[in-house]
Amino acid sequence: MRFSIPNERALNLWLLNEYCLDNDNVLIGLALLIYGVYMTTNNARFSNVGLKLSLSTAKDAIIQHVMQGARGSDSASSFLDSCWQRPIAFVV
């Protein structure tokens, strides 16, 4: 789920206000990524870990929440399954 977006358009994309959002795969990928980051941030804020969360732990938590976010949706699960078939550098 790697997106290459110029810095001046990144906020628009994060806020789901970008021209490329007519692509279902971009929408699904962004929705899962936003959910994963949101849940990881909330868990870190309300746990004893807080600001001590390491980069690798944060990545693992985001991946876990992304997988949880795809559960129950056929299109999100299919999208995520297709990402796992690519090299891991593309996925994370």
Tens-place pLDDT, residues 5-28: 677 777 777 777 766 667 788 788
The pLDDT-based confidence of 1 (bands split at 50, 70, 90) is low
Of 66, 7, 16, 56, residue with least CA distance to 36 = 66
Alpha carbon distance 82, 76 (integer Å): 10
Given this model, what pLDDT does residue 90 score? 44
Of 24, 27, 46, residue with least CA distance to 35 = 27
Query: Looking at the predicted structure, is the pLDDT value of residue 39 above 90?
Result: yes
Of 66, 89, 88, residue with least CA distance to 79 = 66
pTM: 0.71
